[in-house]
Structure 1
Amino acid sequence: MKKGILLVWIDQHRQMVQRVTLPLVVVLMICITILFSHTGGVKLGYSHAMYIPILLAGFVFGYRGGILAGLVAGFMLGPYMPHDLIGGDSQSAGNWTFRLTVFTLIGFLAGLTSDSARAYQERLKWLLRHNSLTNLPNRHALIKRLEHYDVTGDEARNFLLVVVCCENEIELKSAFGSSVVEQTILQLAARFSSLCSNVEIFHTEVSQISLLFRLNYKEIDPLLASLFEDSREPILYNNIKIHIDTRIGYFIFNHADELPEDCVNMAEAALIFAKQTSRDMVAYNPAIKTATEENISLLGQLRHALKMGQLALHYQPKVQIDTGKIYGAEALIRWEHPSRGMIPPVKFIPRAEQSTLIDVITEFVLEQAIQQLAAWQKAGIDVSISVNISTRNLLQPGFTDLVVRLLNQYDLPGELLELEITEGSLMVDVEHTIDELKRLTQLKIVISIDDFGTGYSSLQYLHQLPISVLKIDQSFVRRLPEDQGAIYIMEAAVMLAHNLGLQAIAEGVENKQIYQFLATLGCDMAQGYLIAKPLPAEKFAEWYSQHAGVYHHSDSTS
C-alpha cells in the first residue's frame, strides 16, 4: 500500500522528481568514479556501487534513462579506468565491455520495470474514470469534472446536467444480447455531441448517459426539446432499426456551493421520478427529494410495522345493484403509524410493488382477509372478500400454493375469495399470468380485473384470461351522469363485460344519481362512499347487521 502511495506521489510530482534526480545521478556517478580512481581501480569490488545511480535513473526516467545511465557509467569505469592503480595494470577490452553491457542491461531492466508499473498505474487511473465497454468517461469522471468547474466566472450562464436512461434495457438485452446496450449508449452519445459545441458526455450507469452543458437560460428549453427528440430516434444495430424508450431527468444550477455529488444525485432523482410517474422528462425540484426520502424511510419501517401490528385491514362493502344484496367486501390495507398517524396506501403500496416487500404485504393481507372471512362465516355474515394482488405476486413461485394452504387452513371454499389484478399489470408476462390464473380458478377463486379502462391491456388477451369480473375505474364512474364521454366508456365497458360473460362492478359510487344511472346501464355491482367507507372488521359487521345483508340506496343520506 505504501509502495502504491509512493508511486502515485512520484507520478503527481514527476517533473520536480526528475529535476532533483538528474543532478543527483550525475553527482553519484562522479563521486563513485573518483572513489575508484583513488582507491585502487576497478580491481576492487567497489564497482557495484555504480548500480545505485543506474537503478535510480531507470526508476525515475524509465528504460531510456536507465540505458543512458548504464552506458555513461560503463564508460566512466571503462577503458580509461585502470584495473590496478598500484601495479599500473590497464583493463582488458573484454572486462570493461562486459561491465558496460551489464550496467546497460541493469539500467534497461530497472527502467522497463518502472515504465511497466507506470503504465499499469495509468491504466488503473483510466479505468477509474472511464467505462471500459464504451470508453466514455464514467460517473467518477463526472464528479471530478464538476469539482473543477468554475461556476462564478459567468453569472449569465447556467450549468445543465441531464441524465438520459434507456428504459427498455432488459427487453433489448433479451432480444439482442448485452452488446446492444453499449451500442445504444454510443449512438446516443454521438447524437448528443452534435447538439451543442460545449457538451461533455459521461456513461454513468449501464443504460444511462449523462450530459453536462453550460448555457444561457434561454437556450435550455430548446436544447432539452431537441435532446428528447433525438433520444427517441431508433438506433441501428446489425442493420436493424431498434426502438428505444428513454426517460430524462435534469438539474439546472449556477451556484458555487453545490456539491458535485449532490448535483448528480439531484439529476438522477429527477430521472427516477420520471420513471415512477411515466413522464418523458422531469426537472429536479426539492419536493422530489423529500418524496423519495419519505418513500425510502417508509419502506424501511414497513417490515417492522408488520411485526408490530401497525398494519390492519379495513373492508369496503360491495352490493348488487338490482337487489341491493351485500355480497362482498374489498380488503384495503391501512397503516396506523405511531408518530405519523394514518398513512394512506398510496404512500407506500406503489413503491412496495417495485420491491420484494410486496410479497410480504400480500401474504399478510391474504392471511388476515381469509381469517376474517372464516370468522364472518361462523357469525352468519355471508360475504366474500376481495384482495388486491400484483403481477409480481403471480410471478412469485409458490403464490398459488400459499392461497391453497390458507383456504385449507381455515376450511373455506375458493368461491368466497376474490383476487383483483390491475389491468395494466396483466401484460407483464401474459403467458405465465394466464397459467397461474387458471390454476387459481380451478379452486373456484373469483378473478377480477381492477381499474379497467385505465391500463393498456389488449383485447386479444382479455377473452383468454379466466376472469369473472370487470371492475370499472372510479375516474369514469365519478363523472356520471353529466360527462358524455364517461357515459360512452361506461356503456362500452358494461356491454363488453356482458358479451364476454362477465359481471361489471363500478367503484367510486359517491351519490344516488350515479347509483341510479348505473342501474339504467345494467351495471351489476357497485362500491363506493355512498354505500359505505372502508370500515374496520367490527364496524363492518355492525353495518352489515344494521342493513340485514341488504343495502337500500334510498336509506342513504349522501
Structure 2
Amino acid sequence: MSFRLYGIALFSTPLAAQTEGSPLPVISLLSGLLLLSFIYLIKLQFDLHKQKKFNHTAQQSSLGFYALHDDISGFPNKFFLQQQLDELLQRKPEQQFSLLLIKIYQFEKINQLLGHANSNLILAQIAQRINDQLKTVDDALSFEFRQQVPVRLCHLGGVDFAVWISRSNHQNLAEFVADNLEKNIPEAMIVHGCIVDYKLHSGIAHYPEHSTEFSELLDRAYLALQNHTMLPGHSQVFSAQMLNYSKDKLTLMAQLRQAITDQQLSLYVQPQVDMRTKEVLAAEVYVRWRHPIRGLMAPSSFLALAEEAGVIYPLTQWVLNEAIAMIATLDKAGLVSKIAVNISSQDLLNDELVDSLELLFAQHNVKPKLLVLEITEGAFAAEPETSLSMMRRLHQLGVGLALDDFGTGLSSLAYLRKLPVQQVKVDCSFINDLHKSDTQSAITSALIDMARNLDIGVIAKGVEEIDVEQKLLRIGCNRGQGFLYSRPFELSGFVVWLKQWQKNHVITQ
C-alpha cells in the first residue's frame, strides 16, 4: 500500500506545468523507478531474512525435540529426565523421591516373530498404556503435556522406562505404582492375527537414601529389578544386601569353573511315563552342585551364573557325557530308556556341539536316537536362524528334540512348523490346577491340539495327582512326568529304580 501511494504522489504533477522538451519528466520517472526498486529489494531482503530466521528457529525446535525424545516411542528420553532432575533437585534438594524403573520382559520374542517394524509399534503402544495409567499419579514428575494430558513416562532406550515420583505425600507410592503397573498393564495384544503376551518388571531406588547421583540411582534401580525378577516375591526396592549379593555372585562364578573339574557336580533324574501303560519311556536329568560350603544347590541357583561366566558349554559337555554313559549302562543291563538333557541358547550357538556329540556316541557305543535334547522357546531369541540351523543338524544326527516349557512363550502353528522337534513339554503352570479350572483345561487342550495337528508328541510336566493324570488322558495327552511317578533322585540309582518299577508295574500294551 505504501508503494502505491508513494507512486501516485510522485507522478501527480500536471502536464501543463511541464516545459516541453524538458528532461525533468524522464529523470523523475527514472528516479522514481529506481527508488521503488531499491525499496522493494530492501523489503525482499528483510522478508527473506525473516523467513530464514523462522525456518532456523523451527529447525532448531525440531532438532531439540528429537534430541530430548525417543525416536521410536516419542516419549521423553534419558537426557530429558536428567535435565528435569537437575532443575528439580536444585529447587528441592531436601525432598524425597523415588526412581521407578520399568522393563518389558521377554520383548525379544516379539522382535523375533513379528519383526522390528511391528515390534516398534507394539513398544510405542505399551509405552502409551503405561503413561495412561500414570495420569492419576499426581506425585509423578510431568515432563510435558500433550492435548492437556501429562506425560510422566521417560523412555531410557530399548525396553526400559522410568518414572520419577515424589514421596512427600506417600512414602511407599513408588511400590504401589509398580505393583499396579505390573498387574494391570500386561494385557495381550493382537497383531496380524498373532496374540502378543508380555510382562512388566520393576525396580525402585530412593533419593537421597540410596544415592544422590542419577547414574548411581539408576544402577541401583536396575539391581533391584534384577533381584525382583530372579527372586520372585522379594521386594523390588534396592537394599544394601543386593550389593553383597552381586559380590557373592562373582565369587560363585569363580567357584563354578573349579566345580566342573573338581567333580562337585552330580545328576539327578526324573522319569517320564506312558500314563496308559505305565511304561517308562525316558528320564530327564537335572544337574546339582554339591558346594563344599553351601551344600546341594539346585540348577536355578547357578545355571544363569554359568551362562554369565561363559562356562555353560563345558558344563553342558559334562552333563552330556554323564547322560550318554548312563544310556550305555542301561543298555548293558538290558533296559531301554531315553535320557533327556536340557541345553541352553549358548549351546545352540556353539558349532562344536554336533562334533562333540558324535565323539561321545562313538566313545560309549550309543545310538543318537536314545538322547533327547530339550530346548526352551526363549533359546531362539538371540540368534533364531543360527539356533534353527543347529537344531536341523542335530535332527540329521538322529538326536531327539523336545521344546520345553511349551505354552509360556509365543507359541503358534507357524512357529512350530519351522522347528524339527518331535515332542513338546507343556509347562507345569498349566497342569497343576488342570482338574480344578475350566480355563486351565481349555488352554491345555488347545496346546495339546496344536501339537497333535503337527504330529508332535506331548509331555505333561508336573503331574502330581491321579485326577490330573486322568484328565490329561481324556484330552489326548498320554505322557507325563511328575511327583505322581517319582521325585528326582540320583542318576546313579536309575538302573535299580527302573528294575523295581518294572517289577511293580505290569506293563500293559
Give TM class, smaller chain: 0.5 to 0.7
1:512 corresponding residue in structure 2 = 466
**Is the Cα contact below 8 Å between 2:203 and 2:223 reproduced in 1?**
yes
SS of 1:449's partner is strand
The structure 2 residue matched to 1:448, chosen from 395, 402, 427, is 402
SS of 1:439's partner is helix
2:98 corresponding residue in structure 1 = 160
**Is the Cα contact below 8 Å between 1:388 and 1:420 reproduced in 2?**
yes
Aligned-pair CA distance for 1:418: 0.3
Q: Which amino acid aligns with 2:378?
A: G
Per-residue CA deviation, residues 414-448 of structure 1 (Å, 9 max, x unaligned), is 11000111133334433333322121111221111
| 1:328 has 2:266 as partner | no
Per-residue CA deviation, residues 253-307 of structure 1 (Å, 9 max, x unaligned), is 445x96858655422312444676899x954245654554444443332111112
Q: Distance in 2 between matches of 1:296 and 1:390?
A: 21
Q: Which amino acid aligns with 2:367?
A: P
| 1:391 has 2:329 as partner | no
| 1:366 has 2:304 as partner | no
Query: 1:549 and 1:208, CA in 2 relative to 1: closer, same or farther beyond 3 A?
Result: same
The structure 1 residue matched to 2:419, chosen from 462, 465, 473, is 465
Query: 1:495 and 1:292, CA in 2 relative to 1: closer, same or farther beyond 3 A?
Result: same
Query: 1:462 and 1:277, CA in 2 relative to 1: closer, same or farther beyond 3 A?
Result: farther
Aligned-pair CA distance for 1:194: 3.6
2:432 corresponding residue in structure 1 = 478
**Is the Cα contact below 8 Å between 1:158 and 1:216 reproduced in 2?**
yes
Runs of 5+ consecutive residues of structure 1 not aligned to the other structure: 1-135, 177-190, 196-200, 233-244
Q: Distance in 1 between matches of 2:241 and 2:421?
A: 40
Q: Distance in 1 between matches of 2:448 and 2:503?
A: 25
Q: Distance in 1 between matches of 2:418 and 2:441?
A: 27
Runs of 5+ consecutive residues of structure 2 not aligned to the other structure: 1-76, 118-140, 146-152, 187-198
Q: Which amino acid aligns with 1:510?
A: E
Query: 1:209 and 1:499, CA in 2 relative to 1: closer, same or farther beyond 3 A?
Result: closer
**Is the Cα contact below 8 Å between 1:250 and 1:284 reproduced in 2?**
yes
Q: Distance in 2 between matches of 1:213 and 1:482?
A: 42
Q: Distance in 2 between matches of 1:450 and 1:339?
A: 32
Show the 5 A alignment for 1:4-153: none
Query: 1:483 and 1:304, CA in 2 relative to 1: closer, same or farther beyond 3 A?
Result: same
SS of 1:216's partner is coil
1:401 corresponding residue in structure 2 = 355
Q: Distance in 1 between matches of 2:250 and 2:338?
A: 35
Q: Which amino acid aligns with 1:379?
A: A
Query: 1:352 and 1:149, CA in 2 relative to 1: closer, same or farther beyond 3 A?
Result: farther
**Is the Cα contact below 8 Å between 2:458 and 2:478 reproduced in 1?**
yes
Which deviates the most, 544-553 or 264-273?
544-553
Query: 1:339 and 1:458, CA in 2 relative to 1: closer, same or farther beyond 3 A?
Result: same
Q: Which amino acid aligns with 1:159?
A: F
Query: 1:206 and 1:307, CA in 2 relative to 1: closer, same or farther beyond 3 A?
Result: same
Q: Which amino acid aligns with 1:303?
A: R
| 1:499 has 2:437 as partner | no
TM normalised by structure 1 equals 0.57
Query: 1:304 and 1:205, CA in 2 relative to 1: closer, same or farther beyond 3 A?
Result: farther
1:416 corresponding residue in structure 2 = 370
SS of 2:263's partner is coil
Identity of aligned residues (%): 29
| 1:356 has 2:294 as partner | no
1:122 corresponding residue in structure 2 = none
Query: 1:461 and 1:543, CA in 2 relative to 1: closer, same or farther beyond 3 A?
Result: same
2:168 corresponding residue in structure 1 = 216
Query: 1:549 and 1:383, CA in 2 relative to 1: closer, same or farther beyond 3 A?
Result: farther
Q: Distance in 2 between matches of 1:206 and 1:312?
A: 39
1:432 corresponding residue in structure 2 = 386
Q: Distance in 1 between matches of 2:441 and 2:102?
A: 40
Q: Which amino acid aligns with 2:492?
A: E
SS of 2:433's partner is coil
Q: Distance in 2 between matches of 1:348 and 1:296?
A: 11
Query: 1:519 and 1:208, CA in 2 relative to 1: closer, same or farther beyond 3 A?
Result: closer
Q: Which amino acid aligns with 2:98?
A: L
SS of 2:397's partner is coil
Q: Which amino acid aligns with 1:493?
A: L
Q: Which amino acid aligns with 1:368?
A: E
1:29 corresponding residue in structure 2 = none
2:133 corresponding residue in structure 1 = none
Query: 1:150 and 1:375, CA in 2 relative to 1: closer, same or farther beyond 3 A?
Result: farther
Per-residue CA deviation, residues 121-162 of structure 1 (Å, 9 max, x unaligned), is xxxxxxxxxxxxxxx999xx99xx8xx9899x74xx203345
| 1:541 has 2:479 as partner | no
Query: 1:286 and 1:529, CA in 2 relative to 1: closer, same or farther beyond 3 A?
Result: farther
Query: 1:519 and 1:291, CA in 2 relative to 1: closer, same or farther beyond 3 A?
Result: farther
SS of 1:451's partner is strand
Query: 1:422 and 1:203, CA in 2 relative to 1: closer, same or farther beyond 3 A?
Result: closer
Q: Which amino acid aligns with 1:356?
A: G
| Equivalences, count | 391
Q: Distance in 2 between matches of 1:271 and 1:478?
A: 28
**Is the Cα contact below 8 Å between 2:256 and 2:306 reproduced in 1?**
no
Q: Distance in 1 between matches of 2:303 and 2:339?
A: 19
**Is the Cα contact below 8 Å between 2:413 and 2:450 reproduced in 1?**
no
Q: Distance in 2 between matches of 1:424 and 1:550?
A: 39
Per-residue CA deviation, residues 455-493 of structure 1 (Å, 9 max, x unaligned), is 223321202211111111111222131221222223223
Per-residue CA deviation, residues 331-389 of structure 1 (Å, 9 max, x unaligned), is 11111111111111112223434552222221111111112221221122211100001
Q: Which amino acid aligns with 2:468?
A: I
The structure 2 residue matched to 1:303, chosen from 257, 266, 290, is 257
Q: What RMSD over aligned residues (CA atoms) do the two structures have, in Å?
A: 5.0
* Larger Rg belongs to: 1
Q: Distance in 2 between matches of 1:428 and 1:371?
A: 31
Per-residue CA deviation, residues 38-84 of structure 1 (Å, 9 max, x unaligned), is xxxxxxxxxxxxxxxxxxxxxxxxxxxxxxxxxxxxxxxxxxxxxxx
Structure with more contact order per residue of length (Cα contacts < 8 Å, sep ≥ 6): 2
